[in-house]
Structures are given as C-alpha cells and as structure tokens.
Amino acid sequence: MTTIASVTYDRAAFWRRTALRSQEQCVQYLERIEEQDTQMRRMQDLILELNKEAVDLQAAYENRGRRIADLEEEYATAMGQVNIAPDTRLDEPIDELNLTTRTRNALMREGIATVGALVKKSPSELIEYRNFGVRSLNEVEEQLVERDLELAANPPGWDGEIYGIGSVGAGVLGTLASSGFKSGQDLSIQK
C-alpha cells in the first residue's frame, strides 16, 4: 500500500520528469527549427546565386544572338545579299497610279497589274504595247517619280528615234517639252 506522501512524491517526480522531457523536446524542436532556418537561408542564397547566373547566361545568350545576327548581316553584305524589307509600294495595283483609262487598259491588256510588274519593264518594252505611246510613257514615268520609283533601263543600243523619243527616254523629253523645248531643236551642248 502506498501512502499519500509517496503518491504525491511519485506524482511530483512524474511531472518533473515530464517537464524535463518536455523541455528537452522543446530544445530539440527549437534546434531542428534553427537547422531548418539555416538550411532555408542556404537554399535562398543558392537560389539568388542561380538567378544571378541565369541572368548572366541570358545576357550572354542575347549578346551571342546579337553577335550572330551582326555576323550574318556582315556576311550578307559581303555577299551582296543584304536583306531589305519588301517594298510595299511595289504591291500597289496600277489603278492607284492615277493613269488615264487608255494607259491603264494598255497595261492591263499586257498583264501588268501591279507597280512591281510595271517597274520591271523598260520604256522600250512599254512603247511596243498596243495603244501605249509617248504620252502614256510620260504619264507612267511621272507617276513613278512621285513614288520615288523608276522604270527598268533600256537595253544598250536602243534607239527610240523611230518613236520620236530618242535614246534618252521619254521622261527626259517630257521634262524638256514642259520647259519649252520644241521638237527638232538642237540639244547638243556647246563648249
């Protein structure tokens, strides 16, 4: 049989042991939390380092891409194949050139529907078309000049005298005519 004093003592010893165990457990728990905090800080530092490295790698990659693009451009320039943005003016239909109906119909009949197809033609080719004469040629050249475009060059040795144009081209004579030049007037330069 146990006495009250021994039960009280046993209970007190129990609670002291439990308190000590609880304190030890609390200390161990706190130590684990500190370890985890330390590991978390190390991980955060590592993540920051990795982010810095990633930014550096991305900058190096972009810089490498720029260098590659520069090299490609240098190569293309050296090879004479510079990439130029397509000229949207060449995709315009000839209807937007403000040409007379006769000129527009003559071009359409020959399959020329865009400004791009028109600038590939030389005055010598255009003048051969049915219902396309010197006036039509002047009109086309004026509209192209307004758009900073021009017709293809005449073939070497082309003589436009039979058309009343001369070898200089219709646009030059049209300009001369508007400045008071008369047909048959001497154009030679005197020294």
Residue 30 has pLDDT above 70, yes or no: yes
Rounded to whole angstroms, what are the CA distances from 119 to 37, 142, 160, 174?
Answer: 75, 13, 19, 18
Q: Which residue has better confidence, 183 or 159?
A: 159
Residue 164 has pLDDT above 90, yes or no: no
Distance CA 83, CA 66 (A): 16
Distance CA 97, CA 95 (A): 6
Cβ(105)–Cβ(80) below 8 Å: no
Residue 55 has pLDDT above 70, yes or no: yes
Q: What is the pTM of this model?
A: 0.42
Tokens 């400004």 identify what position?
A: 115
Strand-pairing partners, residue 114, are 93
Q: Return the pLDDT at 101.
A: 93
Distance CA 110, CA 113 (A): 9
**Torsions phi, psi for 93 (to 5 deg):** -70, 155
DSSP string, 55-116: HHHHHHHHHHHHHHHHHHHHHHHHHT-------GGGGSBGGGG---HHHHHHHHHTT--BHH
Residue 123 has pLDDT above 70, yes or no: yes
Q: Return the pLDDT at 4.
A: 56
Residue 191 has pLDDT above 50, yes or no: no
Q: Return the pLDDT at 82.
A: 52
Cβ(134)–Cβ(176) below 8 Å: no
| Average pLDDT score over residue span 37-52 | 89
Q: Which residue has better confidence, 185 or 14?
A: 14
| Average pLDDT score over residue span 121-133 | 88
Helix-strand-coil split of the chain, %, nearest 5:
65, 0, 30
